[in-house]
Amino acid sequence: MFLIFAFAFFTAFLVNVLIGASGGAKFFSDVWEMVFLFTASAAFVVAILRREAAAKRKNDDN
């Protein structure tokens, strides 16, 4: 689930950056871009830590 959140927030960030780079009007300010990128990064870290914990539990059971 956290990987989906990370993908969604990063996609919104990337679309905004690409629109701004192509000369269009960005729909997020610089602060909101930072918030979206931070949220995507945090969600990705949480997803990876949860997956590592699940793998460790699986290995400990064997």
pLDDT by 10-residue block (mean), the chain, 62 residues: 95 93 89 95 97 92 72
CB-based contact 43:5 (threshold 8 Å): yes
Phi, psi values for residue 47, rounded to 5°: -60, -45
pLDDT at position 61, please?
76
Question: Which amino acid makes up residue 9?
Answer: F
Predicted structure pTM score: 0.83
* Residue whose token pair is 């990705």: 44
pLDDT at position 62, please?
67
CB-based contact 48:14 (threshold 8 Å): no
Angle at 32 between CA 24 and CA 6, to 5 degrees: 100
pLDDT at position 60, please?
84
